[in-house]
Structure 1
């Protein structure tokens, strides 16, 4: 039973996320974010070494907690800890629900409600966005976050267990906090952004391939992934967005505004611009990719792991030989 703890824990954690999603208060990731922000106040300096130290301490602490949990030898306890960690780092159910909320607001022609909701999905400035731009922003965010919130944590959980789960979420959270381009974080956030690129390199490509496999237009998804997957400024986001664009038959990319900073991004795909009806199609695709990634992670974790130290079970004593 010992060798099944990781696989069973990941499966149970996925089920917990499907049932309970993210808690509104006291989320472990939010607690980590507050601790990282407090540490930033002590370590901040407009230099890369300060950022490297900040990332090393935050990620190292998360990985250290995971390593302590991974040392638990009782299989039931190990399964429970893996399930708790998996639930804590996954965001697939909440992601799909946020997409559905955006679809509902735009279907009701309530643009103001959709603008208020968009920051739950991405950091784009929603104040000047109309229905077409809100639809595109939602589809793009669903595509990219399917990798960040689901595929990547499951990938690292299958590869490295609880330390992989916690370390990945720490890396991704730091990137969201300080990895963006701004005068304050241009140098201090460099390490967080680069480490996030490394951690997501394989998972983003896995996301693209799963999207091709389960999407409504497999040939279109594969063609656009090959043609446009490298065109995004991010080395990873383009893999997810291009595959979604091809699978849904739309064109993603264009001009985005982030806190007063305008970015002109290359387009991906050969179809029309996203419409409100495409949001629910993207939500269904997100769920299909997430389910497939979960199944693959559970299967990948079903392999023997080397025992460290004696078994948790008490050793059997040999019966005394008759005199």
Structure 2
């Protein structure tokens, strides 16, 4: 029942600025911890080993912290922690902001979408902005909503905190760069493992929430994505909305010629398509809430 209440609390209130302008957000504290580990241990000739040991330490610490929180009498601390570590309302707000900005100007939309994508945004036209926002919506629905819900349902607060610290580490050090390819290897692989089931579950939920007639196109297109997991929710969103996602984009001034997901889908995207993606986020969340409630009552 704590998970049900946490999901509702997050969906209603999101990230209240009056709190997090005064206190550091737990995700910020996790990021600082990972950053400290990066500075301290990403050195020498055994960086891959060091990165593995860091992830073992971070994961153990997260499990212990989650267990300690469960020892506090009552359910409200559990509910608050769950609500804080979910990102449904925050995700919806950020994606909707891109649609609202795109209705004003492409320049406003570029600045808005830059907050939720890692690619170069300076040269984006309107359809590219919309595509980036929708891709971010699909991927972050999996990483920021469904995966935390899944691991909380499976292993309680320890599972939720283990997932969040792993996902945070992957977002900071899990890159194939000269500095992080060895040290961040364990973070990236562990994150892939923890997202293996949730990513596919997210695709199933999106499929259920949209009018995609059959799951077979999703099964066909998901492996086209460069990520072993992100392609699943993205393919489901693309086929559910009848649009083409992914495709060429620029990172650090270099064009990456990625294939389109649902290549035959619409490409002239605009704010109305982002609105449809936001509606899908809420429909998917509602189905998830129903499933969690069913599990709780069972």
User: One fold, TM greater than 0.5?
Assistant: yes
Structure 1 distance, partners of 2:246, 2:28, is: 30
Most deviating of 259-268 and 96-105:
259-268
Structure 2 distance, partners of 1:98, 1:193, is: 25
From 212, 220, 235, the counterpart of 1:218 = 212
Structure 1 distance, partners of 2:27, 2:297, is: 27
SS at match of 1:165: helix
Q: Which residue of 1 aligns with 2:58?
A: 58
* 1:252 aligns to 2:245 (yes or no): yes
* 1:273 aligns to 2:271 (yes or no): no
Distance apart, 1:11 and its partner CA: 1.4
Q: Which ranges of structure 1 fall in alignment gaps of 5 or more residues?
A: 1-7, 304-323
Structure 2 distance, partners of 1:181, 1:296, is: 37
C-alpha distance after superposition, 1:179-230 (max 9, x if no partner): 1222211111111111111000100111111111111x2315x232122112
Q: Which residue of 2 aligns with 1:99?
A: 95
C-alpha distance after superposition, 1:128-176 (max 9, x if no partner): 2111111111111111111111110000010000001111111111111
SS at match of 1:133: helix
User: Normalization by structure 2: what TM-score?
Assistant: 0.92
Q: Which ranges of structure 2 fall in alignment gaps of 5 or more residues?
A: none
- What is the correspondence of 1:75-114 to structure 2 with a 5 Å cutoff? 77=74, 79-108=75-104, 110-114=105-109
C-alpha distance after superposition, 1:73-111 (max 9, x if no partner): x4xx1x213212211210111111111100011111x22
Cα distance change on mapping 1:140 and 1:67 into 2, 3 Å: same
From 187, 196, 199, the counterpart of 1:192 = 187
Q: Which segments of structure 1 move beyond 4 Å, counting only runs of 4 or more?
A: none
Cα distance change on mapping 1:294 and 1:261 into 2, 3 Å: farther
From 11, 27, 30, the counterpart of 2:28 = 30
SS at match of 1:257: strand
Cα distance change on mapping 1:42 and 1:233 into 2, 3 Å: same
Contact 1:154 1:294 in 2 (8 A): no
Cα distance change on mapping 1:58 and 1:292 into 2, 3 Å: same
User: Normalization by structure 1: what TM-score?
Assistant: 0.85
Q: Which residue of 2 aligns with 1:313?
A: none
